[in-house]
Structure 1
């Protein structure tokens, strides 16, 4: 096995996603993922705690980016405007990644355990955003409501972007979802 080839982490992620799509998440083993990537199981476990984490390894970085963008918004920004900055920052990271995002999403939606993990990730993101808004001086329940709304806008914009024919980028889909939320909140 060619353990010393570059980008072992990326090769493992690609191999896992291919196998999950071909055989299903439950039927795929770590040994098969490692073999497909031309690596050992030991190398797999150096990069990922388990086969589920291959699909969620970027969640921490995504959350950090979102939180940092909200925290860095001008002090005068309304909570929803601070969240809009975070939504833009996160959306930009998906540029050129629609095919991967679609494949990942299909694997997750086909498995209850993975759907649950996705919901936990979104709840963690909401809690981190609410904490950030509170540090910006937003009181409750506004901080919690705004954070939950931000996550909902992200999720809906993401799903619309996945369903799109490829013409619009994710930033456009998320901004459209945010505009729709603003209209609903304004009673329009």
Structure 2
């Protein structure tokens, strides 16, 4: 190893994404990721539990932002309007992250195990949002329906955002997807 360089976590993430793109997720080892980053396997495991976590490490922070923003929305706001505020906050996190998001999603889409993990992440997010809405006093089934709707809006907008033909920011795509949902539920 050479001279110490900062940002080990970022270097590991970049190395992993490069290798996943070059060789595929399944063919890439932790040892190769660490070597490409100029670090040891021990350093890798200080930052990530396994090579999957490179792709999902931000899930907890994203869920936390979603939940905290939803919880902080004025209680007078209708549940779906509170969800819209949370969706706007989440969209801000993805500003200037389109190339990374496209690369990450391509890796996930190419692997069934990773797709399953992504679906579990979305289900966990929906459950956390429903719990937050219930704590705000939203009764069932409205809390669960709003949480599922918010998660669906996020997912649909995200897929539109990472599409190769898209050059727009995530926020307007989220608003459009939410407006489409409202139009569908209003009877068209």
Same-fold call, TM cutoff 0.5: yes
Distance in 1 between residues matched to 2:158 and 2:172, nearest whole Å = 10
Query: How high is the TM-score relative to the length of structure 1?
Result: 0.97
Residues 103-114 of structure 1 aligned to structure 2 (within 5 Å): 103-114=103-114
**Where in structure 1 do 4 or more consecutive aligned residues deviate above 3 Å?**
164-167
Q: Which residue of 2 aligns with 1:92?
A: 92
CA RMSD of aligned residues (A): 1.0
Deviation at 1:4, TM superposition (A): 2.7
Query: How high is the TM-score relative to the length of structure 2?
Result: 0.97
Distance in 1 between residues matched to 2:143 and 2:182, nearest whole Å = 16
Preserved CA contact (<8 Å) 1:75 1:136: yes
Q: Which residue of 2 aligns with 1:61?
A: 61
Distance 1:140 1:33, change over 3 A: same
Q: Which residue of 2 aligns with 1:133?
A: 133
Deviation at 1:3, TM superposition (A): 7.1
Would you say how many aligned residue pairs link Structure 1 and Structure 2? 188
Unaligned runs of 5+ in 2: none
Deviation at 1:106, TM superposition (A): 0.2
Unaligned runs of 5+ in 1: none
Q: Which residue of 1 aligns with 2:124?
A: 124
Q: Which residue of 2 aligns with 1:48?
A: 48
Distance 1:3 1:134, change over 3 A: farther
Preserved CA contact (<8 Å) 2:160 2:166: no
Preserved CA contact (<8 Å) 2:65 2:90: yes
Preserved CA contact (<8 Å) 1:108 1:115: yes
Distance in 2 between residues matched to 1:69 and 1:162, nearest whole Å = 24
Deviation at 1:171, TM superposition (A): 0.4
Deviation at 1:165, TM superposition (A): 3.6
Deviation at 1:166, TM superposition (A): 4.7
Distance in 2 between residues matched to 1:166 and 1:24, nearest whole Å = 25
